[in-house]
Structure 1
Amino acid sequence: MTTTASPTPESRGPARPARLIQNEVTTEIPVHLLFRDEPDPVSVPLKPAVVSRRQGTGEQPRLRRPAGPARVVPEVDPDLAERPARVLPGSAGVLAGSCGLAGCAVTSWWAGALPPLALEALRLPAYAGAGLGPAQWAAYAGAGALGLVGFGGLARGRTGRAWVLGLFGRYRGTVRRTGLMWVNPLLLRRRVDVRLRHWRSEPMPAADAAGVALRVVVLAVWRVRDTARATLGVEDHEAYLRECVEAALARVPVEAPGSGRGGVEAAGEALTRLVAAEAAAIGVEVFSVQPVRVEYAPEVAAAMHRRRIAALDAQHRASVLTSVVDSVEDTVTRLTVRGLVELDDYERKALVKDLTVAFCSGRGESGT
Structure 2
Amino acid sequence: MTEQQKRPLPGRVRFHADGIPMDDLFRADPAPRTESRTATLPAVHRPARPESPEQPKSRERTGPLELPLRPPPEEPELVERNGPALPGWCAVLVGLTALGAAAALMWRARPLHPVQLLPWEWAALGGCAVVAVLAFGGLTRGRTGSAWVLSLFGRYRGSVRRTGLVWISPFVLRRRIDVRLRHWRSEPIAVVDAEGAALRVVVLVVWSVRDTARALLSVDDHLDYLREQVEAATARVLSQLPADAFRGEGPTLRDAEAVGARLTRLLAAECRPVGIAVFSAQPTRIEYAPEVAAAMRRRQIAALDARHRDSVLTGVIDAVDDTVTRLTARGLVELDDFERQALVKDLTVAFSTRRGGLPGQEQE
> TM-score surpassing 0.5?
yes
Change (3 A) 1:271 1:330: closer
User: Which residue of 1 is the match for residue 228 of structure 2?
Assistant: 243
The partner residue of 1:91 within 86, 89, 95 is 89
AA aligned opposite 2:301: I
Displacement of 1:227 after TM fit? 1.8
1:160-175 correspondence runs (5 A): 160-175=145-160
Matched, 1:177 2:175: no
Deviation digits for residues 180-204 of structure 1, max 9, x if unmatched? 3321123221122334444343332
Matched, 1:352 2:337: no
Change (3 A) 1:108 1:315: same
Cα contact 2:183–2:206 (8 A) shared by 1 = yes
User: Which residue of 1 is the match for residue 241 of structure 2?
Assistant: 255
User: Which residue of 1 is the match for residue 5 of structure 2?
Assistant: none
User: Which residue of 1 is the match for residue 293 of structure 2?
Assistant: 301
Cα contact 2:200–2:288 (8 A) shared by 1 = yes
AA aligned opposite 1:164: V
Cα contact 2:264–2:282 (8 A) shared by 1 = yes
Change (3 A) 1:341 1:277: closer
AA aligned opposite 2:241: E
Deviation digits for residues 154-211 of structure 1, max 9, x if unmatched? 2333454321112344433222334433211232211223344443433323333223
AA aligned opposite 1:91: W
Deviates further, 83-92 or 284-293: 284-293
User: Which residue of 2 is the match for residue 19 of structure 1?
Assistant: none
SS at match of 2:356: helix
Change (3 A) 1:300 1:140: farther
User: Which residue of 1 is the match for residue 42 of structure 2?
Assistant: none
Q: Partners of 1:262 and 1:355 in 2: how far apart? A: 39
Displacement of 1:218 after TM fit? 3.0
AA aligned opposite 1:96: V
Displacement of 1:324 after TM fit? 2.4
Displacement of 1:145 after TM fit? 4.3
The partner residue of 2:318 within 313, 318, 326 is 326
Change (3 A) 1:318 1:177: same
Q: Partners of 1:181 and 1:348 in 2: how far apart? A: 96
Cα contact 1:324–1:360 (8 A) shared by 2 = yes
Q: Partners of 1:361 and 1:238 in 2: how far apart? A: 62
Change (3 A) 1:290 1:143: same
Change (3 A) 1:342 1:223: closer
The partner residue of 1:215 within 190, 197, 200 is 200
Deviation digits for residues 54-87 of structure 1, max 9, x if unmatched? xxxxxxxxxxxxxxxxxxxxxxx86544343222
How many residue pairs get aligned? The number is: 276
1:1-368 correspondence runs (5 A): 80-102=78-100, 105-106=103-104, 109=107, 128=112, 144-252=129-237, 253-257=239-243, 259=251, 267-268=259-260, 270-336=262-328, 343-364=335-356
AA aligned opposite 1:357: V
Change (3 A) 1:266 1:328: closer
Q: Partners of 1:101 and 1:197 in 2: how far apart? A: 44
Q: Percent identity?
A: 62
Q: Partners of 2:313 and 2:214 in 1: how far apart? A: 66
Cα contact 1:166–1:187 (8 A) shared by 2 = yes
Q: Partners of 2:176 and 2:192 in 1: how far apart? A: 38
Cα contact 1:256–1:295 (8 A) shared by 2 = no
TM-score normalised per structure 1: 0.60
Cα contact 1:214–1:256 (8 A) shared by 2 = no
Deviation digits for residues 300-350 of structure 1, max 9, x if unmatched? 333222222211211111222222233334444455555555554444433
Deviation digits for residues 96-141 of structure 1, max 9, x if unmatched? 32135435655665676xxxxxxxxxxxxxx7479xx9x9999987
Structure 1 stretches of 5 or more lacking a match? 1-76, 113-126
SS at match of 1:184: coil
SS at match of 1:172: strand
Q: Partners of 1:269 and 1:364 in 2: how far apart? A: 41
AA aligned opposite 2:344: V
Cα RMSD (Å) of the superposition?
A: 4.0
Cα contact 1:229–1:282 (8 A) shared by 2 = yes
SS at match of 1:94: helix
Q: Partners of 1:361 and 1:235 in 2: how far apart? A: 69
Change (3 A) 1:266 1:363: closer
Q: Partners of 2:326 and 2:282 in 1: how far apart? A: 57
